[in-house]
Chains A and B, each alone.
Chain A
Amino acid sequence: MKAKPSPKARTADDSSIAVEIESLDLVFNPQSAAPVQALKNINLKIARGSFVSFIGPSGCGKTTLMRIIADLQKPTAGRVRVNGKSPEQARRDHDYGFVFQAPALLPWRTIEQNVALPLEVMGFPRGEREQRIAENLARVKLEDFALKYPFQLSGGMQQRASIARALAFDPDLLLMDEPFGALDEIVRDSLNLQLQQLWRASQKTVIFVTHSIPEAVFLSTQIIVLSPRPGRIQDIIDCDLPSNRELDIRESAEFAAIANRVRQGLREGHSYVTP
């Protein structure tokens, strides 16, 4: 077992680009009588250090697109580069941490042991493991719950634990698939704020799937609006609100303008399907 390879191999010319996608297509059951075109002609560049949200109605392929970046799904055609590498190589190099819609904590491990899981799998030495666990539990404010089991925590705390787990091995990229989708709005607001601060402090690249417009606008530096059937990019919106955001920024005119444009994009994407 060797430790995480570092420094990570990257091609010099596109080091400012974290994820690059060209003419990507995904067809489910291409051989069958009724193939489903899940994604069509996706072209996308995600800058290093940015916070990018994929937003769209259910079935638009936003989660699928993220799963392709994570090499949990293979595209039918097109080119995908993650840190200048194939998604498979990026996965093998532990370039990304994935936060699923459900916390996906192992119920037989304590919170601390859950955060330790990727570190064990990736062969971090014991001393470093302990230090990273403490550091990341503190990041998500769960220091006092290290020895609890997942069932003893609320849904929001479990999801924070899963974020700590994804950050534990210090990946460049954080892929988050509707991580707060199952939580109530109050918890969600507070987690959004925490995530915003966390991203600003770490300067990681975050790709975030959501179907909440305020959430996307509040968190992102760039919003990718997707439309369904077939899944495609409807609009790419730069979200140039100040980087130091508080929740009340959602009352501002700039916020409303961006949210409006996102809503507009979603509506256009929808009318395309049902004229």
Chain B
Amino acid sequence: MSLPRPSGLTAIKTRGESQGLAWFLSQLWHHGVPIVGVGILLILVWYGGAILLNRGLAENYIHNQASGEAAQAQIPTAQWVWQSLNLDRPKLPAPDQILVELKKSIFEVPTSSKRSLVYHTLVTIKATLFGAGLGLGFGLVLAILLIYLRSLMASILPWIIASQTIPIIALAPMLVVILNQLKITGVLPKAMIAAYLSFFPVTLGMVKGLTSAEPLHLELFRSYAAREWQVFLRLRLPASLPYLFASMRIGIAASLVGTIVAELTKSEDGGIGSRLLAGSYYGQTVQIWAALVAASATALILVGLVSVTEKLMLRFMGSNGS
């Protein structure tokens, strides 16, 4: 946990203070240009793809709009290219169409409306956090059982691994039905499906983390005749924290995937998944892509949240901030 301070970072900082603007421009050149360059390239490829994929739809549209002889005429390139980027239901929407849809569904409808992307994203975040919490708790308990009951490890671990090989998209509807039979409704079924995906990285990470204490430290505790719960609280648990956060970064992303899949089944409650479902139901590709962007942004925010918590926690625990 206390790694040496990364010397590269300090070096950059000192240079920055001493050379000012020239240094800033060189940083911009070395870091900014590649990032912006790749971004522009991706957007160009995207536009190219949209034009190619949507060409057929665009030509049909133009033909249907025209009448008589005009319908038989050759369509000028500029016209079908423009049309392919401005279809109502394109095969692949152009980035600007998605931005317009995002602007409309985020800023132009009240967040309490079911047409608001913010509303659906919040529904998803709520279930995701709930599910990640459940997954963390369950995964942690399972990891503790596994490290203390070695025989359990051999008998349960294959089942746990098997549980993760079942496609969640197949399992989710069945779970929703079963849980409904058991009168478990509302956010809980979705959270449980999210937990089903997120507990696994936590369990694996924490089995490793809780056994990662150094042998020397274990001997130190042994020389104090410490009880196992003292070893657990004062040594195993703190030593496992870096593993916990690495697991939670994966776990919370898995939880989001689980929630969205659950929302495909339980779409009446809303959420990003229900937006995806509705979009595909009505061929609203722009809406689907907007929902996908919302899902990615949510994943970034949630993983970022875990990282920030990790930094704060490790700083509090005496890491040197590296």
| Interface residues in chain A, defined as those with a beta carbon under 8 Å from any beta carbon in chain B | 70, 72, 91-92, 94, 96-98, 100, 102, 104, 106-110, 117-118, 120-122, 149-152
Contacts and interface: CB of A to CB of B under 8 A. Distances in A.
A4 to B, nearest CB: 11
A117 to B, nearest CB: 7
Contacts of B317: 108
B216 A104 contact: yes
B88 to A, nearest CB: 58
Kindly name the residue among A70, A97, A151 whose own CB sees the greatest number of chain B CB atoms within 10 A: A151
A108 B1 contact: yes
Interface string B204-238: 00000000001011011111111000100011001
A195 to B, nearest CB: 19
B318 A91 contact: no
B224 A118 contact: yes
A181 to B, nearest CB: 14
Contacts of B216: 100, 102, 104
Contact of A121 (B219, B224, B320): B224
Contacts of A150: 2, 318
Contacts of B318: 107-110, 149-151
Contacts of A122: 224
A149 B2 contact: yes
B234 A151 contact: no
A150 B2 CA distance: 9
Contacts of B319: 107-108
A100 B2 contact: no
Contacts of A96: 223
Nearest to A118: B224
Contacts of A117: 224, 234
Contact of A107 (B1, B221, B224, B225): B1
Given A102-B216, A104-B216, A121-B234, A149 B320 contact: yes
6 contacts: A72-B219, A91-B222, A104-B217, A108-B238, A108-B317, A151-B318
Nearest to B225: A92
B235 A121 contact: no
A114 to B, nearest CB: 10
Contact of B221 (A92, A121, A149, A152): A121
Nearest to B5: A151
A92 B225 CA distance: 5
Contact of B225 (A91, A100, A120): A91
A110 B234 CA distance: 13
Contact of A120 (B2, B220, B234, B320): B234
A110 B320 CA distance: 12
A72 B1 contact: no
A182 B217 CA distance: 18
